[in-house]
Structure 1
Amino acid sequence: MATIINLTDIKNSIKNIDVIAAIENGFVAYSNQQTVVPPVGELLFEDPPGDVHIKYGYIKKEEFYVIKIASGFYNNPKLGIASSQGMMLLFNQKTGQPTAILLDEGYLTDIRTAAAGAVAAKYFAPKKVNAIGILGTGIQAKLQLQFLQKNTPCKTVWVWGRTLKNAEKFKTELNNDFNVHIAKTPVEVAKHCNLIVTTTPSDTVLLTSTEIQPGTHITAVGSDTPNKQELESSILQKADLVIADSISQSKSRGEIYHAVKDGAISVKKITELGTAIQNPNLQRTNDTQITIVDLTGVAVQDIKIATAVYQHYKINNIK
């Protein structure tokens, strides 16, 4: 019988796991063709607006395969419900038997995405970060900022939200740990920050190439479906380095998808994150470069985090 792990136990396990290292190892395995990861399954909703992603796969010679269902329904906060929902399912890779059901309510998707942002900054952010810019004020915006502290301990933050109320709430919740400034526009964020993380579900461009300073790193997180886009395609054209978490996925979603479709860049300009991690020559080499890491979310992240949580839970709870 499959082990059912609830959200409280999942959060307790996460405290004892080096999630950033696990996610980094997953990206390396993915780029080294050690994984089987089919295309993303997807359901898009209009009223109310939302999307559901089904991601699944396995790492060769490891113990489990994973199926993850994660959704984002963006009007949920108005109902007092988190926008992220979902669960992860673990199966024995040799027998197909269900091993564990992780009732994470989308929490693990949020955590593994934030960890990927920390990995991106580790290899592509400038050595001296003057200020961190965050576009968006939701749970992912907060987590990205908190996970960045592992390798980028900058406390000066500029945040932009779709409403002033959301930005003020963000500032109130984080102001004890950070020096948070509220930006009136995304342009103001770009003016003050050389590390920017975009976390919104926007389907209209928020930043254009003329606003990006030399030396800026951008981790683009929000554009994970074909209709979403936060960065003008010319930003990727202007960039010295363009990195995809998955080159194959970037053909159908994300900032790279739009830039290639618009003719701003060719596929030849793109390097996969797991490949760049292994080769310093493919990483940032000076503080004048503009770098973009496009994170569309890859099943290998779910495989790594779900496996780590289950293994920790098993050791500590199953006698």
Structure 2
Amino acid sequence: MGRARAPTPRWLDPRGLAADRPHPGHQPVAARRLLAGPGEAREAQRAAAAQGPSVRGGSSHRGRTQRSRRRARRAPVPSLQQGSRILHQRSTAVGRDDLPLRDRGGSRRSDRWRAGRDAARTHWRRAGVHAAAAAAARFSATVPHPAGRRRPLRRASIALLLTRGDLARLLDYSSVIDAVGAAFAAYSSGRTQTPLRVGVEPPGAEGVLLAMPCAVAEPRSLGAKIVSVFRGNAVRGLPTVNSIYVLSDYETGAPLVIMDGGYLTAVRTAAGSAVATRELARADARTLGVFGTGVQARFHVETIRRVRALTRVLVSGTSADKAHEFAEWVTAATGLAAEPAAPQATSAADIVAACTTSATPVVLAEHVRDGAHVNAVGAFTPTTRELPSQLVARARVFVDTRAGALSEAGDLLLAIQDGQFTLSSVVGEVGEVLLGALPGRIDPRQVTIYKSVGAAFLDAVTARLAFEKAGEKATGTVYEFDAE
């Protein structure tokens, strides 16, 4: 008797699927098959069938012959999908747009037989079921079986899975910056629904689970991010922060894509700072001072250098080794001159990016020069801050959203408690500057601050961009949730 193989822990599988037993719904096929037009989809299915044997037993030649005879006797099946681009375009033959596909491209035999029979009956009786089926599908209802059978013909429930690597290949920084800028303007003009994040703290556990839903009217984006922050995970060898994002169809609410939330958060946060820098920093700003050496710090270098012609980067970290390693990465990745620096020198840069998890100020107010612009994105609770009250008091302050900043931004709320700042001192939102409703920098010697605590509409538009790019570049993995 052989030695039993130790099962692979499910939590170690980076795709969220059990490595030792893949879920039957997991279909490692290219996104092009999911998003292609009807004609392209048919060609893709024929090619897939030619490359390997059928998933069903028996003679493949006999099966093809029988299927051809049955198709010749059937009337076309009206499509049940009118509003869902994905499901409508997964068809493999004319008249069978509503049938879910197997891994090799074949439709479910029983559903196919019943659908063909019932479609023929409907055709002969001249019954107009097309509009009724489309209306039922629009409200995510079960489409009744025309013959009154107990088992209904249900819509397939599928989505695209995008990993961190997929997002890195799909999302170029300039496109994300443009999308985020449009989202800022949409929010400030009232074209989004963005409630404050909702959180729960599990009793007996040191952590919080957050939900951030949002709907954006243009570009049409609907989705939600689920984020968990468990600080005890470090001793377990697990990430402190985990998140996923679910983008849904704007018309039906059906899931379109599920993606890694960590990369999404990092790139859209840095893109927000880049938009603020583009609108608020002096045109001749050349040096960037970065506090922090983590993921956010790296993304800020990448995005800010795309809106200002940087020549030098200064970095301050929690240790000299981390700062030195980060500076080496900057030079290798961007070609910019970079060096570790003391907080005094980093605070004196033309543009400052505070990207830390510190609960106390890291930027030194007395060293921030006139005309500087400061982005503060690390602190997102009422009791933590990266900026001292003296700096907030002397600056022209802009935020991502008033509602979020004035309820969660410790950089501002603690300055108010210190008596050096007031709510009315917040000039406005970056979106209002983009819309021309407010001026940005009005004096070259003025210090400007962009304070962000995170906004769900930035996630939504970035996720939408990733979904569109996935279709163009055939990236991702299709997953069928209702697979048996």
Aligned-partner residue type, residue 237 of structure 1: A
Matches within 5 A, 1:227-246: 227-239=383-395, 241-246=396-401
Note closer, same or farther for the CA distance 1:75–1:289 as it changes in structure 2 (3 Å cut). Answer: farther
Instruction: Report SS of the residue matched to 1:236.
Output: helix
Contact 2:296 2:355 in 1 (8 A): yes
Displacement of 1:245 in angstroms is 0.4
Q: Which has the higher strand share?
A: 1
User: Aligned residue for 1:314?
Assistant: 471
Note closer, same or farther for the CA distance 1:214–1:281 as it changes in structure 2 (3 Å cut). Answer: same
One of 334, 338, 345 as aligned partner of 1:188: 345
User: Aligned residue for 2:263?
Assistant: 107
Instruction: Report SS of the residue matched to 1:231.
Output: coil
User: Aligned partners of 2:338 and 2:231: how far apart in 1?
Assistant: 24
One of 282, 304, 311 as aligned partner of 1:155: 311
Aligned-partner residue type, residue 108 of structure 1: L
Contact 1:62 1:93 in 2 (8 A): no
Note closer, same or farther for the CA distance 1:287–1:84 as it changes in structure 2 (3 Å cut). Answer: farther
Aligned-residue Cα RMSD (Å) equals 2.7
User: Aligned residue for 1:165?
Assistant: 321
Note closer, same or farther for the CA distance 1:28–1:204 as it changes in structure 2 (3 Å cut). Answer: same
Calculate percent identity across the aligned residue pairs.
Answer: 25
Instruction: Report SS of the residue matched to 1:2.
Output: strand
One of 404, 408, 432 as aligned partner of 1:249: 404
Deviation readout 1:27-54 (Å, 9 max, x if unpaired) = 0000111110111123579x99876542
User: Aligned residue for 2:90?
Assistant: none
User: Aligned partners of 1:156 and 1:228: how far apart in 2?
Assistant: 29
Note closer, same or farther for the CA distance 1:222–1:44 as it changes in structure 2 (3 Å cut). Answer: farther
Matches within 5 A, 1:15-26: 15=172, 18-26=175-183
Instruction: Report SS of the residue matched to 2:167.
Output: helix
Confirm whether residue 299 of structure 1 aligns to residue 456 of structure 2: yes
Contact 1:244 1:256 in 2 (8 A): no
Instruction: Report SS of the residue matched to 2:446.
Output: coil
One of 234, 240, 244 as aligned partner of 1:87: 244
Displacement of 1:250 in angstroms is 1.1
One of 27, 42, 57 as aligned partner of 2:199: 42
Note closer, same or farther for the CA distance 1:253–1:172 as it changes in structure 2 (3 Å cut). Answer: same
Relative contact order (alpha carbons < 8 A, sep ≥ 6): 1 or 2 greater? 1
The size of the alignment, in residue pairs, is 314
Aligned-partner residue type, residue 280 of structure 2: F
User: Aligned residue for 1:27?
Assistant: 184
User: Aligned partners of 1:263 and 1:276: how far apart in 2?
Assistant: 27
Matches within 5 A, 1:51-62: 53-60=210-217
User: Aligned residue for 1:267?
Assistant: 423
Deviation readout 1:33-81 (Å, 9 max, x if unpaired) = 1110111123579x99876542111013654411012356678788876
Confirm whether residue 9 of structure 1 aligns to residue 166 of structure 2: yes
Deviation readout 1:246-300 (Å, 9 max, x if unpaired) = 1000122222232234332222221111001222851113321110000111001
Note closer, same or farther for the CA distance 1:196–1:17 as it changes in structure 2 (3 Å cut). Answer: closer
Q: Provide the TM-score with structure 1 as the length reference.
A: 0.89
Q: Whose radius of gyration is greater, 1 or 2?
A: 2
Displacement of 1:236 in angstroms is 1.3
Matches within 5 A, 1:107-146: 107-146=263-302
Aligned-partner residue type, residue 188 of structure 1: A
Instruction: Report SS of the residue matched to 2:402.
Output: coil
Contact 1:35 1:60 in 2 (8 A): yes
Q: Provide the TM-score with structure 2 as the length reference.
A: 0.60
Deviation readout 1:100-154 (Å, 9 max, x if unpaired) = 211x150011000111111011011112224210000111101101111111121
One of 434, 444, 447 as aligned partner of 1:287: 444
Note closer, same or farther for the CA distance 1:147–1:140 as it changes in structure 2 (3 Å cut). Answer: same
Deviation readout 1:153-204 (Å, 9 max, x if unpaired) = 21211110011121111012122322112123x223123x121000001111
Note closer, same or farther for the CA distance 1:36–1:92 as it changes in structure 2 (3 Å cut). Answer: same
Contact 2:278 2:307 in 1 (8 A): yes
Aligned-partner residue type, residue 118 of structure 1: A
Displacement of 1:205 in angstroms is 1.5
Contact 1:129 1:154 in 2 (8 A): yes
- Structure 2, gaps ≥5 residues long: 1-157, 479-484
User: Aligned partners of 1:305 and 1:231: how far apart in 2?
Assistant: 28
User: Aligned partners of 2:291 and 2:355: how far apart in 1?
Assistant: 6
User: Aligned partners of 1:125 and 1:17: how far apart in 2?
Assistant: 18
Deviation readout 1:209-260 (Å, 9 max, x if unpaired) = 3222111110001011223200012211111x11010100012222223223
Instruction: Report SS of the residue matched to 1:197.
Output: strand
Contact 2:286 2:309 in 1 (8 A): no
Note closer, same or farther for the CA distance 1:61–1:204 as it changes in structure 2 (3 Å cut). Answer: closer
